């Protein structure tokens, strides 16, 4: 991937703070290189949005990632998705998620996890994730970032093991899964 693309992604990422965390060029490059899944969508030769996901074996310092890692054996963590301000509301996020979920199904991923900010609130993201099928499984007060986040999960293979793993029977009605 050339530096021009990474520069565009970096601008999109850092224009999306506080919905995602600020990154410098080296941090973003390292995340891309260590990612399980990375995708961009381009419009007219420019990056319109990107998504980056990590597997459960990654050495990653994010407290949100570690929260999932301490609870689940097998998952893919959506670390970030961000869209250019001028392309928001055009279905780019849905395209990125749809491609990613299809990839996960083809590769027999069991559970996709992510978080959505509650403090500071990111209502658009919460509505979007619920529309994509994610359920809130808990909340986490990330002391490092100062954010309160909703811990979200999308079971891809929802057998009894997964239902127990996300405490679905205690927190949600069977029809919610």
Q: Dump pLDDT digits (tens) for 142-164.
A: 998 899 999 999 999 765 555 55
CATH 1.10.3260.10 fits 3-176, yes or no: no
> Which of 65-79, 122-136, 154-168 has the least mean pLDDT?
154-168
- Write the DSSP string, 26-64: HHHHHHHHH-SEEEEEEETTEEEEEEEEEETT-----HH
Helix axes 3-15, 25-34, angle to 10 degrees: 110
Q: DSSP label at 157?
A: S
pLDDT reading at 70 higher than 80: yes
Q: What percent of the chain has pLDDT over 70?
A: 89
40/64 Cα distance (integer angstroms): 23
Q: What percent of the chain has pLDDT over 90?
A: 76
- From the number of C-beta atoms within 10 Å of its C-beta (0-12, 13-18, 19+), residue 123 rates as exposed
Average pLDDT over residues 13-17: 95
pLDDT reading at 65 higher than 90: yes
Average pLDDT over residues 161-168: 57
Task: Report the residue count for the chain.
Answer: 177
Mean pLDDT estimate for the chain: 89
Average pLDDT over residues 75-84: 96
> How high is the pLDDT of residue 176?
44
> How high is the pLDDT of residue 162?
59
pLDDT reading at 170 higher than 70: no
> How high is the pLDDT of residue 134?
96
pLDDT reading at 18 higher than 90: no
Average pLDDT over residues 47-64: 96
């Amino acid at each position: 991937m050339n530096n021009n693309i990474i520069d565009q992604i970096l601008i999109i990422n850092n224009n999306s703070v506080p919905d995602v965390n600020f990154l410098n060029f080296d941090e973003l490059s390292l995340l891309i290189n260590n990612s399980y899944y990375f995708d961009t969508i381009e419009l007219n030769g420019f990056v319109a949005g990107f998504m980056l996901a990590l597997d459960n074996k990654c050495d990653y310092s994010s407290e949100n990632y570690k929260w999932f890692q301490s609870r689940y054996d097998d998952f893919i963590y959506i670390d970030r998705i961000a869209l250019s301000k001028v392309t928001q509301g055009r279905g780019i996020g849905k395209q990125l998620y749809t491609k990613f979920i299809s990839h996960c199904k083809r590769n027999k991923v069991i559970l996709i996890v992510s978080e959505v900010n509650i403090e500071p609130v990111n209502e658009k993201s919460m509505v979007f994730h619920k529309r994509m099928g994610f359920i809130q499984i808990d909340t986490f007060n990330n002391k490092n970032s100062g954010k309160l986040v909703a811990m979200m999960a999308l079971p891809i293979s929802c057998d009894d093991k997964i239902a127990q793993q996300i405490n679905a029977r205690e927190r949600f009605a069977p029809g919610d899964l």
